[in-house]
A and B are shown apart, each in its own frame.
Chain A
Amino acid sequence: MADYQSCLAFLCELLQKYNRKRVMINENTGLVADLGLSSLEVMEVIEQIEDHYDISIPLNILPDVNTVADLAQKIRDLNP
């Protein structure tokens, strides 16, 4: 089972390649608000997370995901 901190570390590293605005990425960083991810990029990120943890992330949870912390928490919840 992946704990919250390791999910967070993985996400911060993964999101660096989308960090066009060169902001400091931490758990409070907004995926769209701060990083400016497009809808296509959000789905790319989701696919990479799914491959890494061997999970499927339902689209239903995405409206509740705004920050890196939100996403890390969802991964932790989905990872048995």
Chain B
Amino acid sequence: MLLDKFKEMAAFQSELRDRKLKAFGAVTDEILSATEGVVEGRRVILAGTNNYLGLSADPRCIEAAREAASRWGTGTTGSRLANGSFAEHQALEAELAAFYGVGHAICFSTGYSATMGTCATLAGPGDVILLDADSHSSIYSGVKLSGAEVIRYRHSDTGDLAKRLRRLGDRAANTLIVAEGIYSMLGDVAPLAEIADIKREYGAMLLVDEAHSLGVLGERGRGAAEAAGVEDAVDFTVGTFSKSLGGIGGFCVSPHAELEDVRYCIRAYIFTASSTPSVVASTRRALQILRDEPQLRERLWDNARRLYSGLKALGLAVGPTPSPVVAVEFADREAAMAAWQQLFDNGVYVNLVVPPASPSTNYLLRNSMSAAHSSEQVDRIIDAYRGLIDAGLVTPDAA
């Protein structure tokens, strides 16, 4: 039967209902600030939102959105190729291109469509896409649509990447390498300096998804490629407005003039309504703030280091280096679910990640920090994790 394949998911959803576990699709009743809200009737610290700079609640962005809605209306009611290209969209594209110091930019209605649409279009039949094994779902969806030959390389393993390019021989010149700046689940940073060297050696092209690194890494906040000093090796940068910029939408920027032609071939751009002007306006304002206020980035990293060192000191299984995404790994499913519930009951909302969304068979409690978190809030999050140890839900690493 057509719908039989959903039985496993139905059983899982039923289990969640029986356990009254609201980890997936929890309803936010009220937003009190960038870092506090009422979720499922409980006041919580928001520590699983990707709101890295806290700009979703910035009064300047809210006012920009309000003004744009008054001026342009609530929606564009059409695609960019039809009636949906407003001056706001063009201005945002120009500002993004200038921010990245490249000539060309395209805006999309969501980050997912930016990444999926770009990956689906840049490479086609006869080409090859080499993607990191831990790539985001939007990348996997895009490469599947592309018609290109799709090959995975082991996560951030540059030796494996080079080996696979060697195997391709002359076809390496028709290859698009795909990496992310910061990987969303564990918060680790791609080895972009080495990837850039390999890309140059084999004459391939490189696309970097800076969804979680825009506004987070680099002297000017441009992302992991800027931090690694290899922006000149990146052919296409994609990203999202829904994290550090606090809105929704996505983009692709490139130094290649051909991007202006690629624009008219991306189905996820052509056949969908363009972003509402209010969202574009708030994104433009947020981009200005990101550019002009590097202290937000410093505050974010202060909080990230505070949380990371606090959880590490408790002996919890966190990643190798501090990052605004701090994930605590659990091998045991029951413990992970109970731990999420206890954190929530104690006023801390984080993300519960289950396989296959996690990069291994482990379960994750994924925390994302914000510049808007106070030190006191970060300490309360750490205290809540200490409570998991006291409750026997996680055993500290003896090391």
Which of B133, B143, B150, B164 has a CB less than 8 Å from the CB of A43?
A: B133
**Candidates B154, B168, B355; contact of A40 at CB < 8 Å:** B355
Chain A residues with CB under 8 A of B152: 43, 59
| A64 CB–B CB distance under 8 Å | no
- A 46-75 binary contact with B (CB < 8 Å = 1; else 0): 010000001111111000000000000000
Which single member of B150, B360, B361 contacts A58 (CB below 8 Å)? B150
Given contacts A39-B356, A40-B360, contact A59 B167 (CB under 8 A): no
Q: How large is the interface on B (under 10, 10 to 19, 20 to 34, 35 or more residues)?
A: 10 to 19
Are A47 and B150 neighbours in the complex by a CB distance under 8 Å?
A: no
Cβ-Cβ contact count across A and B, 8 Å cutoff: 28
Interface footprint category on A:
10 to 19
**In the bound complex, CA of A36 to CA of B360 (Å):** 17
Q: State whether A58 and B167 are in contact (beta carbons under 8 Å apart), knowing that A40-B355, A40-B360 are contacts in the complex.
A: no
Give per-residue flags for B196-217: 1 if the beta carbon is below 8 A from chain A beta carbons, else 0: 0000000000000000000000
A54 touches B154 (CB 8 A): no
Q: Taking A40-B355, A40-B356, A40-B360 as contacts, is the C-beta distance between A56 and B133 under 8 angstroms?
A: no
B150 touches A56 (CB 8 A): no
Q: Which of A39, A40, A54, A58 contacts B151 (CB 8 A)?
A: A58
B residues 90-147 touching A (CB-CB < 8 Å): 133, 143-144
Report chain B residues within 8 Å CB of A55: 167
Beta-carbon nearest neighbor of A46 in chain B: B152
Please name all residues of chain A whose beta carbon is closer than 8 Å to the beta carbon of B151 when the two chains form the complex.
Answer: 56-59
Within 8 A of A (CB), among B160-175: 164, 167-168
Residues 342-370 of chain B: 1 if any A CB is under 8 Å from the residue's CB, otherwise 0? Answer: 00000000000001100011000000000
- Chain A residue with Cβ nearest B133: A43
CB within 8 Å of B: which A15-49 residues: 38-40, 43, 47
- B binding-site residues for A, Cβ under 8 Å: 133, 143-144, 149-152, 154, 164, 167-168, 355-356, 360-361
Q: Which A residues contact B (CB, under 8 angstroms)? A: 38-40, 43, 47, 54-60
Having A40-B356, A57-B151, one finds 12 other A-B pairs with CB under 8 Å, namely A38-B355, A38-B356, A38-B361, A40-B361, A43-B133, A55-B167, A56-B164, A56-B167, A56-B168, A58-B150, A59-B150, A60-B149
